[in-house]
Amino acid sequence: MSTNLRNEFYAGLLVSIALGIYLFQLWRPARQVELHSENLLRAIEDKDWAAFADFVDEGYEDQWGHNRAVVLARVQQVVVYTRGLEFQTHDAVVRRAETDEPFWRARITVSGEENELMTLIERPVNAVTEPWELHWRRQSWKPWGWKLVRVSNPGFQLPEGSFY
């Protein structure tokens, strides 16, 4: 009887240690920034506007002067007319993971079912060779409490008078 109890104790201890190691790896800031960036893009692809809005910080502002309200509205207004939208990321890395504002950096290309709007989106986005930067800020002690505070890409310029 005592051998069974001892074996169960050690099995429970091993499971607890394995779970602890897994959670430690999962909750690292670099891993959370990576996951949040990927999930942000998936929310746009899936047209899950509540999830997309949940990722964007109240104080969001990008290099083009868009605030949270503008970016939420415009992304939804444009993406709603696309079909099969997919983002492909290339050479994704997380920089400054241990700072107050780490960022995820990757070259992003888009694809989807061909139509006039998809062509208007694909052409300028896919032509950019510089990587996009998604800057995140931790909002709470919770490991999943990250919000997008800024997006930038020095190689991407919006045309004068454009809707974007």
Least confident of 14-23, 46-55, 130-139, 142-151: 14-23
Residue 124: is its pLDDT beyond 80? yes
Q: Which residue has the higher pLDDT, 23 or 49?
A: 49
The larger pLDDT score, comparing residue 143 to residue 131, is at 131
**pLDDT for 40-92, tens place per residue?**
999 999 999 999 999 999 999 999 999 999 999 999 999 999 999 999 999 99
Percent share of the chain, pLDDT over 70: 90
Q: How many whole angstroms separate alpha carbon 3 and alpha carbon 10?
A: 11
pLDDT band at 37 (very low <50, low <70, confident <90, very high): very high
CA 111 centroid distance within chain: 18
pLDDT at position 70 is 96
| C-alpha Rg value of the chain to the nearest Å | 20
pLDDT of residue 150: 96
Inter-residue contact 68 to 59 (CB < 8 Å): yes
Tokens of residue 103, six digits: 């960022």
**Domains in the chain, ordered, with CATH?**
30-152 (3.10.450.50)
Count CA atoms closer than 13 A to 73's CA, side-chain side. Answer: 7
Task: Read off the pTM.
Answer: 0.82
More reliable by pLDDT, 9 or 133: 133
DSSP run (H or E) holding 109? strand 103-111
